Amino acid sequence: MALHELALERRNLHGHFSRELEPVLEIDSGDSIAFATLDAGWGVEPPRADGAERDRFEPRDEELDSGHALIGPVAVRGARAGQVLEVRIDSIRVGPFGLTVAGGWPSFMNDGLEVAEGESVTLAWELDPDAGVGRDRAGREVRLDPFLGVLGMPPDEPGVHPTGPPRFCGGNLDCKELRPGTKLFLPIPLDGALFSAGDCHALQGDGEVSSTAIECPLERAELTLSLRDDVDLMGPVALTDDAWIALGLGDTIDAAAIDAVDSMLQLMGRELGVERREALALASVVVDLRITQVVNGVVGVHAVLPHGALGSGRI
C-alpha cells in the first residue's frame, strides 16, 4: 500500500470541519498518510519568556481557522456513509516545544476552582522526542506519551462546524489511549470520509482539567486509513495492545458514561454473543469507566475492557 506525504503548508491546513471542504488528497483504502502539524493554537514558536504574544502561522482566516490547526481533509476512495473508517496510528513524533495554560478565562472548571479571573499561567516545555522527556522552565521533568487529540470527520450537515467538541464520527476526542499501535474505529458520516487530524499532545492526564495538555507541534505522524464493512458502530471504539475501549460522549458526565457503556455492551454482545443485560452484569465486574476530558463542551467518558479479563484472548 502507498504512503502519501502531506506537506505542512497553507493549502493543507484548516481550522474547522465542513463537508464542503475540498479534499487535499484522495487515497485508497489501506494507504497511509504522513504529515506534520502546528500546535493547536497555530503557533510557530515556543511561549516567550517575557510573556509577549508569540508568532503564529499566517495567513489565517479569522472564522475558518479559529479552531485547531488540522491537516486534511483526506478523501478515501469508495468510502460511503454508514461504513467504518479504521485509523491505525502507526507513529507519532513530537516537535521541540510545548505549552500548558491554566486559569484566566471563564469555564465551569475555572469558575468552580476560582481561577477564572486574573492572568493565565503558562508552562513552557522543552521536548526531547528521542529521550521521550519534557522539561519546563522550572526544571520539572515528565515522561512523554504523545497522541493526537483530533482524529475525525465532519458531520453530514451544511456549514462550518467548530473543531472543539467531539462527535460520533471523531474529532477532538482528547483520549490519551490513542497512542501509536492503536486502531481507532469511527463511523463514516458522509461519502468520501474527509478525514482530518491534528492537535498533538506530548502528555495529558485523563480529564485534561486545565483545558490544555502539553500542546505541541507534531514533527511527523503516520496513519493508515482503511474501510471496514464488517463492523457496525454508533460511535468511536478503539483497540489497543491492552484493551478494547468504547468512547462515550455527552453534554454531562452522566450522559457520556451511558454512551460509553452502551457502546461497550454492543461490543461485548458482538464479540461474546451475550444479550444486553448479561453484558451489563459482566461489564460491572471487568470494565473500567474513565473520564476522557471535561473541557470540550461535549465531555467524554471511555469504557475500558482489558484483554483477557473474561478468560484468554482479546476479550
Mean pLDDT confidence for 293-308: 96
pLDDT digits (tens, 9 = 90+) for 40-84: 999 999 999 888 999 999 999 999 999 999 999 999 999 999 999
pLDDT digits (tens, 9 = 90+) for 218-248: 999 999 999 999 988 999 999 999 999 999 9
- Average pLDDT, whole number, for the chain? 96
Above 90 in pLDDT, residue 312?
Answer: no
State the CB neighbour count (10 A cutoff) for residue 158: 9
Tell me what pLDDT residue 315 has. Answer: 54
**Distance between CA atoms of 23 and 103, rounded to whole angstroms?**
37
pLDDT digits (tens, 9 = 90+) for 242-256: 999 999 999 999 999
Q: Which residue, 126, 155, 150, is CA-closest to 140?
A: 126
**Distance between CA atoms of 90 and 148, rounded to whole angstroms?**
12
At residue 275, φ and ψ (nearest 5 deg) are -80, 170
Q: What is the pTM of this model?
A: 0.96
pLDDT digits (tens, 9 = 90+) for 103-138: 999 999 999 999 999 999 999 999 999 999 999 999
Angle between helices 276-286 and 253-272 (to 10 degrees): 110
Tell me what pLDDT residue 77 has. Answer: 98
pLDDT digits (tens, 9 = 90+) for 276-290: 999 999 999 999 999
Per-residue HEC secondary structure of the chain comes to: CCEEEECCCHHHEECCECCCCCCCEEECCCCEEEEEECCCCCECCCCCCCCCCCCECCCCCCCCCCCCCEEEEEEECCCCCCCEEEEEEEEEEECCEEEEEECCCCCHHHHHHCCCCCCCEEEEEEEECCCCEEEECCCCEEECCCEEEEEECCCCCCCCECCCCCECCEEECCCCCCCCCCEEEEECCCCCCCEEEEEEECCCCCECCCCCCCECCEEEEEEEEEEECCCCCCCCEEECCCEEEEEEEECCHHHHHHHHHHHHHHHHHHHHCCCHHHHHHHHHHHCEEEEEECCCCCEEEEEEEECCCCCCCCC
Tell me what pLDDT residue 209 has. Answer: 97
